[in-house]
Amino acid sequence: MRTKTLLLTAALSAAGIASSMAQAVYSVNAVGYVNTQLVPGFNLVSNPLDNKTGNTIGNLFGTGLAGGIPDGLSVYYFDPNIDDYVSGLYESILGGWQPASAANQVVPPGEGVFVFWPGTANGTNTFVGEVLQAAASNQQIPPGFSIKGSTVPIAGTVTSMNFPVADGDSIYRWDTTIDDYVSYLYESILGGWQPSTPSLAVGEAAFVFKAGTTPVTWTRNFTINQ
């Protein structure tokens, strides 16, 4: 999956003056968009930005799809609580998203979905929203399987992203060229990540298998100056 990132506005600042200290305090928000390419068939994509109109499937895969929503578009959100997918199929002949509740499924920034892109030509989905910062850029990883990506639109190895790795953790990236997973396993006794440290592109998600029995925090504490 090739993902092209363009952060439109680097920073919008608003100043507040704390009169008692006579010092300027800046609130910095970064908004922008990420163009994610979708190839025909299955794609494992993450939500890289915080969509201020709601991070629902209906919003994330709606007006951002170049050329409109194609019939046959399917989105699969893996819900770790039920250990199964919540599936949504878009067919205009059926009245849009089926089941209708699928459009309301929330996919927070840093989580991902399988997208089945119909047809034979590549498509593009434009995610728009705000870059999460500070504590908001951290996320929980439940034990077992979940689909995760970076909470911020930056590519790199999972090590550079401060992924909270532990023995027994696995990461499964989806390779669209072979239509199958590429697997990575972390075992310190084997020297760390095997066969190599996985990397994630901007807007790319991967299945994470988190060892253990309790959720773990993936701490980013990202700031725009980072």
C-alpha dihedral, 160 to 152 to 56 to 89, nearest 10°: -50
85 binds other proteins (CB under 8 A): yes
Task: For residue 224, report the phi and psi dihedrals to the nearest 5 degrees.
Answer: -65, -20
Strand-pair partners of 6:
33
156 binds other proteins (CB under 8 A): no
Q: Give CA–CA dist 97/76, Å, rounded.
A: 12
Select from 16-24, 46-54, 88-96, 161-169 the region that touches other proteins (CB under 8 A): 88-96
Return the number of the residue (35 or 98) whose C-beta is nearest other proteins.
Answer: 98
Question: Is residue 189 helix, strand or coil?
Answer: helix
Using CB under 8 A as the binding rule, the residues of this chain from 12 to 41 that contact other proteins are: none
Largest Cα–Cα distance of the chain, in whole Å? 63
73 binds other proteins (CB under 8 A): yes
Q: Give CA–CA dist 75/126, Å, rounded.
A: 15
Contact 56, 134 (CB under 8 A): no
Return the number of the residue (118 or 192) whose C-beta is nearest other proteins.
Answer: 118
158 binds other proteins (CB under 8 A): no
Cα 215 to Cα 130, 141, 170: the distances in Å are 26, 5, 15
Question: Is residue 167 helix, strand or coil?
Answer: coil
> Would strands 192-194 and 180-187 be described as parallel, antiparallel, or unpaired?
antiparallel
Q: Binding residue for other proteins (CB under 8 A) from 7, 138, 145, 224?
A: 145
Site string for other proteins, 40-69 (x = CB under 8 A): --x---------------------------
Site string for other proteins, 101-140 (x = CB under 8 A): xx-----------x-x-xx---------------------
Give me 33's structure tokens. Answer: 């968009």
Give me 51's structure tokens. Answer: 């969509």
Return the number of the residue (50 or 204) whose C-beta is nearest other proteins.
Answer: 204
**Closest separation in Å from C-beta 83 to other proteins:** 7
74 binds other proteins (CB under 8 A): yes
Strand-pair partners of 217:
140
95 binds other proteins (CB under 8 A): yes
167 binds other proteins (CB under 8 A): no
List residues near other proteins by CB under 8 A: 42, 70-74, 76, 78, 82-87, 89, 91, 93-95, 98-99, 101-102, 114, 116, 118-119, 145, 172, 181, 183, 207, 209
